Amino acid sequence: MVSRGFKEIAQYLIAGEVEKRELEKVTAKIKPGLTVEEAYLVQQEIVNTKLAEGKRIIGPKMGLTSQAKMKQMNVNEPIYGYVFDYMRIENGGKLRMQDQIHPKVEAEIAFVIGEDIIGPGITAEEVLVKTEFVIPALEIIDSRYENFNFTLPDVIADNASTSRVVFGTSLKKPTQLDLDLVGVTLKINGEIKELGAGAAVLGHPAEAIAMLANMLSCKGEKVRKGDVILSGAITGAVMIGEGNVVTGKFAGLGEVSFTVTA
């Protein structure tokens, strides 16, 4: 397959999402030399297409926020993508398998931003001051690539595997909790599958939001007031399927859950 432009690559990835089918990764044949910078341009084309269709951004999301994952992918900073309104499932609601390819779930803390955060040079302390609330969340990731097999540019281009999100209804001021010490239990059908604590995210989840603000500033953008931002996975990602009841319990932050249907 010959090398394609960024718009064509974006349409290729959107087709995988819409048609619920696995794709060969972009770097395999379509554009073997795809760089991280080019991958974000592909991602932006996906965002532009969705916005033109009338979809709305809930907020950015962070990925690869554990030191282990960054080392595995040979990077020194996380990646980001975007969560849209059509991806939201109500707490206690249903995830339809027919809308997915091979979904996995992970537990995260989401930040509800109270003031614009404009990098560079943003610190975690500044993020906490400008955060209105934190809430528990479960993110469903669903890479469009075969067997979740991808390189760093591939996953960035694919909007960081973003698929669905479930936000909890418990709102806490970030000053009410030591977010790095928040313990999380991820259960499927009542069985514990993963355990973690907020410190799994760059030592403190607010560090991820600070890093996001600084990364966005490189292209003249900012973290916006009203954004609801997933700060990164506290637990490992667990494969889910029809009939699963998924629950995340966050110490001091409450519960969030959903059921997987056909």
Q: What is the pLDDT along the chain (262 residues), one digit of tens a residue?
A: 344 699 999 999 999 999 999 999 999 989 999 999 999 999 999 999 999 999 999 999 999 998 777 777 777 789 999 999 999 999 999 999 999 999 999 999 999 999 999 999 999 999 999 999 999 999 999 999 999 999 999 999 999 999 999 999 999 999 999 999 999 999 999 999 999 999 999 999 999 999 999 999 999 999 999 999 999 999 999 999 999 999 999 999 999 999 999 9
112-164 residue pLDDT tens: 999 999 999 999 999 999 999 999 999 999 999 999 999 999 999 999 999 99
**Biggest CA pair distance of the chain:** 54
- The Cα 31–Cα 18 span in angstroms is 22
Of 188, 189, 139, 178, the closest CA to residue 159 belongs to 139
User: What is the pTM (predicted TM-score) of this model?
Assistant: 0.95
- The Cα 193–Cα 86 span in angstroms is 27
Residue-level pLDDT at 90? 98
Residue-level pLDDT at 2? 40
End-to-end alpha carbon distance in the chain: 35
DSSP 224: P
- The Cα 45–Cα 160 span in angstroms is 14
Give me the amino acid identity at 15.
A
DSSP 172: B
Residue 36's DSSP bridge partners are none
- The Cα 134–Cα 229 span in angstroms is 9
- The Cα 76–Cα 113 span in angstroms is 25
Q: Kindly list the structural domains of the chain, giving each domain's residue range(s) and its CATH number in brackets, ordered by start.
A: 6-261 (3.90.850.10)
Helix (H) or strand (E) holding 37: helix 36-52
Residue 61 φ then ψ, to 5°: -135, 150
- The Cα 227–Cα 200 span in angstroms is 22
Residue 256's DSSP bridge partners are 248
